[in-house]
Structure 1
C-alpha cells in the first residue's frame, strides 16, 4: 500500500476503522468497565481506581517513549501494531481473571487490588505500543492537507463510537449476572483478531525510512531535551490544552459508570443507552467541523467545545440527582441533555486538537512526538485527576451499607469539579491561538 494510493483505497480506510474501533473499544472498556468491575467484584473504593489510573498512565507513557523511539529508528509501524494488539488482547482477558482470586481477608483484598492495578498497567503498556504509537504514527505517515480533515473526523468519532458500542454492548455482555469475564473475553479476542489481520493487511508507507540519530540511548533521551521542545511554541500550548481538558475529563468520566449505576440506580444496559443516545446525536456535529478545520478555524472550534462541555457538566452537576431520575427508563431529560452537551464538546475538542497537534509534529520524529503527546493526553491527566476526584468522592459520597461497611459513591460533586477544571483550558487556548496567528 503506497503513500499515494493508500490514502484513497478501501483497504486503507478499512484498516483505519477496524483497528481504530477495536482499539477504542478496548480503551473504553478500560476507562469505563474496569472501574465498574472494581466496584462490582473488588471493593467500592475510588482509591483502587485512582491507583489504576496513575500506574497505567505511567506504563502507557513509558511504552510510548520506548516504542516511539524504536518505531522511528526502525522505520516500522506495522510490527508494533500487530504485536501490540495481540498482546493487548491477551492481557485484557487475563485482567478479568483477577475476580477469581480469594478475597477471604483484608490482606487478601490488598493483594487482589495490587494484582488488578498491575494487570491494568501491563495491558496499557501493550495497548500503547500497538495503538498510541504504532497505529497513530502509521496514520500520521499518511496524513496530508487533503485528507487531514477526514482522518481527524475518523479519529474523533472512533472514541465516541467506541464509547457507544462499548457501553451498550458492554452492559449487555456483563448482563444481570455481572459476568465481566464474558466482556473481557469478547473484547480482548476481537483485538487479538485485528492484530492478526494487520500482520497480513497493513503496509507502511513507501517513503518511511529509519531515522537514526546516534545511539539508541542518545535518541531516546533526546526527546527529553526541554529546550528543543519549547522551540515548538504553538505545539507546547496545544499540548497544555490537551492536558487541562483531559484532567477535567478524567475527574468525572472515570466515575461516570459508577455514578449512574450505584448512585442514581440505573442498570448497566440502561446507562449505556442514555449515554449512547446523547453521543450518537453529538456525532453529527463532526460533519460541519471538518470544513472548519480545513478553513483553519481550530481555535474557534476548541472554544465552542469548552463552552458546550461546561454547559453539560453544569446540567449534570446541578440538575441530576437520585430524586429526579427514573432508573427504570431511558427517558431522563436532564441527564440526557447533560450527556448531549458533554458529548458534543468532547467530540469537537478531540477532533480538532488531534489534527491541530499532528500538523505540528516534526516529520522525522513523529513516533517520539506521539510519546510527548501521551504525557499530556494520558500521564498528566491520569495522575492529577485522581488527586481531585478521590477527595471529592470521599468527602461527598460516603455511605454505610446494610452490613456496616463504608462505601464511597461518586456524586454530582465530581461534575462540578470537572466543570471548574475544564474552564481553565481557555488559558492555554488563548496562547495557542496567539502563536498560531504569528504564522
Structure 2
C-alpha cells in the first residue's frame, strides 16, 4: 500500500515538474525569443510585437473560457493537456517557418503581409498552448491542491517560470547562436512539448474527486461565467485578480522588450543575454523556500508587499544606472545590470508564488476550470492589451534611431523600466483592498 502511494506521489510530482517546465519553456520562448525573432528576421519595429501580444492574448483568453467550460462539464483535464501540448508543439515549429516569407526592405505592403502571418501563427500557437497549459494543466494542479501541499505547489508553480526563463534564455541563446538560427530553437522546443503531450496521454491521471459539472446547456454554462454580478460577490478574489492585472501590465511594459533592450540597445549577444538573466534569476529562485512557510502561515499580503518593493528597486537600478556607456557586452560581470535583474527576479518569483496560491484557494470548487479563464483575463488579456499601448509610444519616442543605411529603427531604452516602476507601485492599491477583504472573511 505504502509503495503504491509513494509511486503515485512520485508520478504526480514528476508530471507537475515535467509538464510545468515544458510549458514554461514554450511560454518563455514566445514571450522573449519571438520578440527578438521579429527584430532579427522581420523588422525592428515594436508595433509588430504590440500586435502579437494583443492578438495572442485574445486567442489565449478565448481558449481558456472555451476549454475551461468543456473541462468542467466533462470532468476531464487529461485530454486537454495531452492534445493541447501536442498541437502547441506542432504550431511552435510551424511559427518558425514564417521567417522564410521574404519581403524587401522598404516594401511596406510586403512587410504588412509577413507581419500578419507572424501574428496569426503566434495566435494559433497560443490558443493550443492555453488549452493544454493554462486550462488543462493548471486546473489539474488545482484539483490536486490541498492544505498540506498548497505551499509546495505554489512554490513549484512560481519557480517553474523562473527555471523556464533561465533555461529558455540560456538554452535559447545557444540554440539561436551567432548565426541567428531561430528555426533550430523552435524545432527543439516544439519537439520537447510534443513529447510531454504524449507522456501525459499515457501517464496522467485526473483527480479521483473530479466530477462532471453540468449546469444546463453548454451555451448557458459558458455564458454564466460572464455573470458580472455573481463574480463580484467573490470580493477578495476580485481584488486579488486586480493585483494580478496591474502587476503584469507593468511586467509586460518592460519584459516583452528586455531581450531587444539587451541585444540591440546594450550590445550583448543572445548567449550573453541568457547568461546574465540566468545568473540573476537563479539566485532569486532560492527565495521560494522561506516563502512557503509564510504562505502556510497566511502572510500572503506581507510577501506581496515585499515582492513589489524589491521589484521596484530592481527596475530603478536598470532604469537609472544601466546604459550602453557603462556595460561591457563581452562579459557577464556587469554589477548594475546583474543587481537589477536579481531584484526584479526576486520580486517576480515572490509575487507569482504567493498570488497563485492565494487566488486558487478562492475558486469555487465546481467551476475551477472556468475561473482559470477569468484569471487569464487579468493575467494575460488585460496586461498584454494595455501594456503595448504604454510601451509602444515610449519606444517610438525615446528609442528612434537611423541605421547606417538610412532606415529608421526603434530600440527599447531605459525609459521602459522607469515607466514599469510607476505602474508597479499602483499594485499596492488592490493589495490593500484584498488584504482588508481577507481579514474580514477570517473574522
How big is each residue's C-alpha offset from its partner over 1:328-358, in whole Å with a ceiling of 9 and x where there is no partner? 0000000000000000000000000000000
Distance 1:284 1:179 in 2: 33
SS at match of 2:351: helix
Distance 2:5 2:399 in 1: 55
Q: What is the CA RMSD across the aligned residues, in angstroms? A: 1.0
Match of 2:385 in 1: 383
SS at match of 1:221: helix
* 1:5 positional shift: 4.3
Distance 2:228 2:278 in 1: 41
Alignment of 1:341-352 (within 5 A): 341-352=343-354
Structure 1 residue 182 corresponds to structure 2 residue 204:
no
Contact 1:6 1:12 in 2 (8 A): no
Alignment of 1:282-297 (within 5 A): 282-297=284-299
Distance 1:415 1:85 in 2: 33
Match of 1:117 in 2: 119
Distance 2:158 2:10 in 1: 20
Distance 1:338 1:115 in 2: 36
Match of 1:365 in 2: 367
Contact 1:21 1:162 in 2 (8 A): yes
How big is each residue's C-alpha offset from its partner over 1:134-172, in whole Å with a ceiling of 9 and x where there is no partner? 000000000000000000000000000000000000000
Distance 1:47 1:63 in 2: 24
Aligned length: 436
Structure 1 residue 324 corresponds to structure 2 residue 326:
yes
Distance 1:46 1:16 in 2: 35
Structure 1 consecutive aligned stretches of length 4 or more whose deviation exceeds 4 Å = 4-8
Match of 2:434 in 1: 432
Match of 2:166 in 1: 164
* 1:108 positional shift: 1.3
Contact 1:64 1:129 in 2 (8 A): yes
Match of 1:66 in 2: 66
SS at match of 1:438: helix
How big is each residue's C-alpha offset from its partner over 1:250-290, in whole Å with a ceiling of 9 and x where there is no partner? 00000000000000000001111110000000000000000
Match of 1:19 in 2: 19
Match of 1:96 in 2: 96
Alignment of 1:69-218 (within 5 A): 69-104=69-104, 105-218=107-220
Match of 1:45 in 2: 45
Unaligned runs of 5+ in 1: none
Structure 1 residues 403 and 56: CA distance shift in structure 2, 3 A:
same
Contact 1:7 1:147 in 2 (8 A): no
Match of 1:302 in 2: 304
Match of 2:270 in 1: 268
* 1:7 positional shift: 10
Contact 1:83 1:195 in 2 (8 A): yes
Match of 1:421 in 2: 423
Instruction: State TM-score, norm by structure 2.
Output: 0.98
SS at match of 1:285: helix
Match of 1:55 in 2: 55
Distance 1:312 1:102 in 2: 40
Unaligned runs of 5+ in 2: none
SS at match of 1:164: helix
